[in-house]
Structure 1
């Protein structure tokens, strides 16, 4: 059984559970805007991928509820 050890470059936490080398969250969108010239020739693919992503996420959230209802209500036999 292998033991897990800390990486050699691990830094101790600063006491509140966060790492001391974390930087504040940035709201700079310039790097994303820099990608637009490369994405624009493939607008259809990007839109299709976003639709597929939303569909997959919604199915991931919906299927357990559908199965729960099917098991709770669907397998109860009426006599």
Structure 2
């Protein structure tokens, strides 16, 4: 999209900043693992990518557009 360096992969970023990841939290490490999984899948299956056009955006907005979320409030027991 607006990526200034689209050829820079998450693997490159991860290896370049490996020393910074030594103290990374478990959540950060899990996120890096998930991003790596996405990167590998996108690189292996680029034909499966779907552009977000106005029709798809309108459909998504009709499904979840009116939902308000307070990211600072704790989840209820039913949500966890």
Greater RCO (CA < 8 Å, at least 6 residues apart): 2
- Report the TM-score when normalising by structure 2: 0.29
